[in-house]
Amino acid sequence: MTLVATQADHEAIPASIFRAYDIRGIAELQLSKDSVRLIGQAIGSEALDQNIATLLIGYDGRLSSPSLSIALIEGIRSSGCNVVSLGLIPTPLLYFATHTTDFDSGVMLTASHNPSNYNGLKVVFHQTSLAENQIQSLRSRIETNRLRTGDGGFAELDIDKLYIEDICRRIKLEQPLKVVVDCGNAVPGKVAPVLLGALGCDVYPIFCEIDGNFPNHHPDPTVPKNLVALAATVLEKKADVGVALDGDGDRVGLITNLGNFVDADRMLMLLVQAIVPNFPNRAVVYDVKCSSKLGTLIAESGALPVMHRSGHSFMKQKMQEANAILGGEFAAHIFIRDDWFGFDDGMYVAARLLKILSESSKTSDELFDQFDTGFSTSEIKIEVAEERKFLLMEQLLELADFPAAKQITLDGLRVEYADGWGLIRASNTSPALLLRFEADTQTRLLEIQNQFKALLRSADKDLEIGF
Ligand SMILES: [Zn+2]
């Protein structure tokens, strides 16, 4: 394990926690109070260098979050940077505060949907999520001891009410909807049921009590098996729709009135259909994991489809660069900019989808059923050691030989044929290679999968390939 060398009085921090778009590690072990304090001082120092005098701070519902947030606040203040604490909040409320208060920068202490023993930091400077070099520069700041010292001020702010009122001002449902909401015992449980009620929905909350052990299911709404209880409750209550949120509320999952799982491809397709006609010729950004049918629909709707690498920070940066009106990832980070701020916000996205549903004479199942994504897989994971995954991906890129296909190397390798595609890339958040496939027929899907299997075998014949 590579360690970040620090001053003698600090324990070493593992370099691997500084990831592509956030800082993430096992609480106590890799992210101790001391290391979080030191990272806080580095963030505060970097903020002051960028003329940011005050940072907003929020933390999620994990067991380690209250004590680590105290360490984070101490560290930031010790650099001389001021702190405004927003307390226990879902991540989108921190983003919201950077757009609606006097302060445009902040730090969210969260490990999103990761297992309960993890924690992490998402850093926003001037309304932009830090990524790659900017995150590595925090690490090198600690290594080279370029840390400011001072005595920053402290204040608290309650953002929940302002957030809910703002969304209710923007979104009016045409008819009341019966909605089951599943927060997986994570921090959105504090906000999502209240928001849905304020929008006029008849709300049935399940697993909305915050419990950092996540006792009922993992708070990852992109995995259908996590939404089994939600689907059952939707059917039992004869609800119009089921809404699930991820561990820190930036992503959303949906269950239709018939209990069917809706993936992000189809949520994005519905949003494209509703938003793009009002903003012709604007860009819509989507990641390499998304359906090719989404790109086609974006173009047919009159917008410019822009494919980009996966990762919420990269997506938001690309959206600003392309002045996109809408964006989204297959992992269900969805970004809306026509009447919202363009950050990933599962609760706002849910509210927008409910608005579309409330304006339609169709049921939620009929609304999503209109989009045909052919035969596709969900995300397939092949476990590969953290130290090896990027090297293996490089090797695969060298060995790749798909003469009849278009090869896209924005992020890993996406091989596109007229009737299907396959993707392999290294995960930025877990020790794994990630794959996804889509084709017009089941036979074609298997053919493309077999091509990827052969590629993987040529790089490592002992790899455990689970498809
Ligand atoms: Zn999340």
Contacts 24+ apart (CB under 8 A), 28-34: 28/64, 31/64, 31/68, 31/119, 31/120, 33/67, 33/68, 33/70, 33/71, 34/10, 34/71
Mean pLDDT of 83-99: 98
Residue 3 has pLDDT above 60, yes or no: no
Asked if the model's pLDDT at residue 144 lies above 90, the reply is yes
pLDDT band at 16 (very low <50, low <70, confident <90, very high): confident
> What does the pLDDT read at residue 1?
44
Distance 359 CA to ligand 1 centre (A): 29
292-300: long-range contacts, CB 8 A cutoff, minimum separation 24: 292/416, 292/421, 292/438, 293/265, 293/269, 293/371, 293/372, 293/373, 293/374, 293/438, 294/265, 294/268, 294/269, 297/269, 297/272, 297/273, 297/371, 298/272
Distance from the alpha carbon of residue 344 to the mean position of ligand 1, in angstroms: 9
pLDDT band at 9 (very low <50, low <70, confident <90, very high): very low
Mean pLDDT over all residues of the chain?
95
Q: What percent of the chain has pLDDT over 70?
A: 98
Give all domains of the chain, ordered by start, each with its CATH number.
3-158 (3.40.120.10), 161-257 (3.40.120.10), 264-369 (3.40.120.10), 375-459 (3.30.310.50)
Question: How far is ligand 1, taken at its centre, from the CA of residue 417, in Å?
Answer: 32
Residue 160, pLDDT > 90, answer: yes
pLDDT, residue 199, reads 98
Å from CA of 263 to ligand 1 middle: 16
Q: Give the distance (Å) from ligand 1 centre to CA of residue 107.
A: 14
What's the gap in Å between 245 CA and the centre of ligand 1?
Answer: 8
Portion of the chain with pLDDT greater than 90, in percent:
89
Average pLDDT over residues 229-237: 98
How remote is the CA of residue 355 from the centroid of ligand 1, in Å? Answer: 23
**Centroid of ligand 1 to alpha carbon of 148 (angstroms):** 31
- Please state whether the predicted TM-score (pTM) of the whole model is above 0.85: yes
> 98-102, 152-156, 259-263, 314-318: lowest mean pLDDT where?
314-318
pLDDT at 433: 96
- pLDDT, tens only, 257-313: 999 999 999 999 999 999 999 999 999 999 999 999 999 999 999 999 999 999 988
By annotation, the residues acting in catalysis are 24, 112, 333
Q: How far is the CA of 19 from the centre of ligand 1 (A)?
A: 15
Q: 45 CA to middle of ligand 1, Å? A: 26
Mean pLDDT of 312-338: 95
Q: What is residue 313's predicted lDDT score, i.e. its pLDDT? A: 85
Is residue 15 very low, low, confident or very high in pLDDT (cuts 50, 70, 90)? confident
pLDDT in tens, 413-464: 999 999 999 999 999 878 899 999 999 999 999 999 999 999 999 999 988 8
Lowest mean pLDDT across 89-93, 209-213, 366-370, 371-375:
371-375
Tens of pLDDT, residue by residue over 178-207, are: 999 999 999 999 999 999 999 999 999 999
User: So what's the pLDDT on residue 83?
Assistant: 98
Q: Residue 251 C-alpha to ligand 1 middle, in angstroms? A: 6
pLDDT tens-place string over residues 234-260: 999 999 999 999 999 999 999 999 999
pLDDT reading at 315 higher than 60: yes
Residue 6 is predicted with a pLDDT of 53
The per-residue pLDDT for 340 is: 97
